[in-house]
Amino acid sequence: MRNSNKFNLFIFAALSSLAVVLGITPANALPGQNINAVIKWSKTKPQLPSLTYSSEAHGYSGTKGNLYFYVDVPSENGIVTKEGITVSGDSSIKFTTKNSKSVKLIQTIYNNNIANDFSQSRRITKVGRDHYYRGKKYAYILAEVEGGSAFQIIKLQQLQTEIDSAKYCQTHQCDL
C-alpha cells in the first residue's frame, strides 16, 4: 500500500509538472513540425492571415494588411521546411538583428526564444540579395525585397544547403 501511494504521488507530480509546462510554454510552429500543427498554431495568432494551400508553391500562404506569411511544405509527409514573413510598405520594419521593430514582430509571432535566437545570430554570408544568419536554434535568411523586407526561418541543419543552392542559382537558371 505504501509503494502504491508513492507511485500515485509521483504520477500526480509528473502530470502537474506537465500541465504547468504546457500552460506556460507558448505554442509555436517552426520548421521541422507537421503542417497541421502550423495551421492550428497560425489560427491562434491574430496578426497572421488565414492560410491557403498552393500546389505550385508547395505550401501555404496568406496576406493580412501589409504582412505576408508563408510556409513551405515541399514533400508529401507534411513537414514544414521553411517559414517566411514579408512586411511591405513600412520602412520602419527592416528585418535585421538590430531593428527593434522587426525583432518585436518576430517575438509577437513566434516567442521570446526565437526573437532572442534571431537577434543574437551572426551573419554567415550574403548571396545575391539574401543575407544568411546562424542562430543557436535556427538559421535565418533576410532580404530587402521590392517595397519591403523579408525574413525566413529554416532548420539550422539546412543553412549550408540553402547557401549552396543560392550560389548555384547565381550561375545557373533555377526555377524560383
Q: Please report the beta strands in the chain, taking only residues with DSSP state E, as ranges in sequence order.
A: 52-54, 59-64, 67-72, 82-88, 122-127, 130-134, 138-145, 148-155
In a domain? residue 124: yes
In a domain? residue 73: yes
In a domain? residue 9: no
Q: How confident is the model at residue 28 (pLDDT cuts 50, 70, 90)?
A: confident
C-alpha to C-alpha distances, 23 to 17, 27, 39, nearest whole angstrom: 10, 9, 20
Give me the number of domains the chain comprises.
1
At residue 119, φ and ψ (nearest 5 deg) are: -65, -25
In a domain? residue 176: no
pLDDT of residue 2: 52
Q: In percent, how much of the chain has pLDDT > 90?
A: 73
In a domain? residue 18: no
**Structural domain containing residue 89:** 28-171
In a domain? residue 11: no
Q: Look at 117 and 5; give whichever has higher pLDDT.
A: 117
Q: How far is CA 129 from the centre of its chain?
A: 20
In a domain? residue 103: yes
Residue 128 above 90 pLDDT?
A: yes
What value does the mean pLDDT take over residues 39-54? 94
At residue 114, φ and ψ (nearest 5 deg) are: -70, -45
What value does the mean pLDDT take over residues 60-80? 93
Chain-wide mean pLDDT for the chain?
86
In a domain? residue 82: yes
